[in-house]
Structure 1
Amino acid sequence: MTALITGVAGFVGHSLAAALLARGERVIGIDAITDYYDPRMKRENLRSLTSSPDFEFHEISLAQAPLDELLKGVTTVFHQAGQPGVRKSWGRDFATYSVNNVEATQILLEAAMRADGVEKVVYASSSSIYGDAEKYPTSESTIPSPRSPYGVTKLAAEHLCSLYAANFGLPTVSLRYFTVYGPGQRPDMAFTRFLTAAHLGSEITVLGDGEQRRDFTYVADVVRANIAASEASSQPGAVYNVAGGSNVSVNEVLATIATLSDKKLNIVYKKSVAGDVRRTGGDTTAIRRDLGWTPSVSLNQGLEQQFVWAKATVESGILRTETIS
């Protein structure tokens, strides 16, 4: 396999690149290194990849990238790039989400159509497209109803993937990630904030009452889902949930973190964010049947691994605590 990974310096992107390089695959990475969060974390992610002679990196946006040239010889495209976050997707910042999540995806799909030899385009979608679903666990047949502009743009890009599959036969697969966590998670995401604060003994901010429930998915399981989607035969335009199978509240997660850290947590509850959903939970029947994928890492195991990473990253100075909010 020769893979092109967009967003290769990000959380899932660099984890996927590392796994493919470990298998002896060739990886071409693209990342604009935006400042949505501390670029030093992204640079550190890249540092762990650049020692491999099979890794080639291009610091550029998809809109500016010479995609026709970069896609020569590429068999699989993993489209992990995008503007993340529910909170900032409201207001004036929406234009950034529209460009980075929708327009960039259309540009990439057009380039993949022109390329010879692209056997699969795997798109990183999100459970945010469901909003507050009518049924749990939620299957792929559920009508999407996003509650945030971020979710709207992820759904729009997913529809583009399905349209290019239906109209031109482009072999796309969209994976709807359910709350990915683990080592390397972004500093603005809840688990990194919680674990870092627990380690330092500082205040933990919870948006809402903490009773919102989530289906958390460990990053290594998400990586395996991407690889399975790239290798298995599936209908062009297929969509699959990638969910860890947990059904726990934020408060239950905090109780686990308190046990891991062996400290009393200083928790402050604040108003919930517009667009945040009360519950998520993915039905993984389809991905188990079609791709042979099942989650393998429990929430407790994953939290232990992320806590080790968070402590080491803070102590090394790579993760600056003043940037975590």
Structure 2
Amino acid sequence: MELSGQRVVVTGGAGLIGSHLARTLAPDNDVVVVDDLSNGDPASVPEGATFVEGDLTDASVVADVVTGDVDLVCHLAAADKYVDTDHPRAQFEANTAITYGILERMAEVGVDNLAFTSSCTVYGDAGEPTPEDYGPLEPISGYGATKLAEESVCSVYAHSHDVTVWTFRFANIVGPRFGAGVVPDFVEKLRENPETLTVLGDGRQEKSYMHVTECVDAMCHVVEHADADLNVYNLGTHETTSVTRIADIVSEEMGLDPDYAYTGGDRGWTGDVPRVFLPIDKLAALGWEPELTSDESVRRATRELLALD
């Protein structure tokens, strides 16, 4: 699909990834951003995009933004994955209702292209590399469960309702925005106490970290070049970074040398996966490779966060 001259709806378009995606698309497309601002910042919506503040669990809001002249829906809106991880019912119900409602509306008005942001959490605690055809998928967090359920609904509409779907299973995405996530968490903790940094778990958790600009670039590349009914792609870097290494990078960038206080155990919170190995061979075969390593992505995001003052 050519990403030029299209009418595009970006849900969650005031968030970290959504706002960068909207900014990338806005110069060459008619972009509508819809966000309830529970996790978004209206100042992040780019000039040239139409902004609609609304709750996508409300069918009338979905009907207002998903109209017959829309060419592509980029669905990034989701309940915060870090909120009350021990009681995920509200998160699960909201996310699945939103995704189902959007797809149902798309079928009603004849919109047949959806880019959906999933997560590597659908793989669960695999303990081994997880290419896109890895199975069985056994998520261990409420967030992973809701993303897998949403993927299932997308699959139904791809195979039975003539909707072309691009599903992205993200690594950890970092960038210039405070909020949930290990990098802003460490920056804020060290500003409060430069001497000691509390690290959840044992610090050995290893995952791929991808800068938001490269994430958005990869998404656009896949939408433009992958043309199956259902296209599933891992998005990340070729290597992993440990939580302790992230603490080192953040401390270095802040000019600090704190002691680390580990909370213990190999999981930072309920449903945390100690090690995620996210191959991106399929993405590379489509012609896209990241320029930044995980460490470089973390360092760049840290510098951007520090520059916000």
TM-score (norm 2): 0.89
Distance apart, 1:296 and its partner CA: 1.9
1:206 and 2:199 matched: yes
Write 1 or 2 for the structure with the bigger share of helix.
Answer: 1
Whole-Å separation in 2 of the counterparts to 1:233 and 1:213: 29
1:197 and 2:189 matched: yes
- Pair 1:193–1:266, CA change in 2 (3 A): farther
Distance apart, 1:205 and its partner CA: 2.3
Q: What is the CA deviation profile of residues 12-67 of structure 1, one whole-angstrom value per residue up to 9, with x for unaligned ones?
A: 1111111112x332210111112xx5x6xx13323xx2xx2x31111111122443
2:12 and 2:35 in contact (8 A); partners too: yes
Quote the sequence identity (%): 24
Distance apart, 1:189 and its partner CA: 0.9
Distance apart, 1:265 and its partner CA: 2.2
Structure 1 residue aligned with 2:92: 98
Structure 2 residue aligned with 1:19: 24
Q: Runs ≥4 in structure 1, deviation > 6 angstroms?
A: none
SS in 2 for 1:310: helix
Q: Which amino acid aligns with 1:4?
A: V
Q: Which among 300, 304, 309 is matched to residue 309 of structure 1?
A: 304
SS in 1 for 2:180: coil
Structure 2 residue aligned with 1:67: 62
Distance apart, 1:268 and its partner CA: 2.0
Q: Which among 232, 237, 243 is matched to residue 225 of structure 2?
A: 232
Distance apart, 1:5 and its partner CA: 0.4
Structure 1 residue aligned with 2:275: 279
1:179 and 1:214 in contact (8 A); partners too: yes
Residue ranges of structure 1 left out of the alignment (5+ in a row): 316-325
1:2 and 2:7 matched: yes
Q: Which amino acid aligns with 1:273?
A: W
SS in 2 for 1:294: coil
Q: Which amino acid aligns with 1:140?
A: E
The number of residues matched between the two structures is 297
Structure 2 residue aligned with 1:44: 43
Structure 1 residue aligned with 2:3: none
Whole-Å separation in 1 of the counterparts to 2:232 and 2:219: 12
Whole-Å separation in 2 of the counterparts to 1:238 and 1:19: 21
SS in 2 for 1:81: coil
Whole-Å separation in 1 of the counterparts to 2:212 and 2:34: 20
Q: Which amino acid aligns with 1:263?
A: L
CA RMSD of aligned residues (A): 2.0
Q: Which amino acid aligns with 1:302?
A: S
Structure 2 residue aligned with 1:128: 121
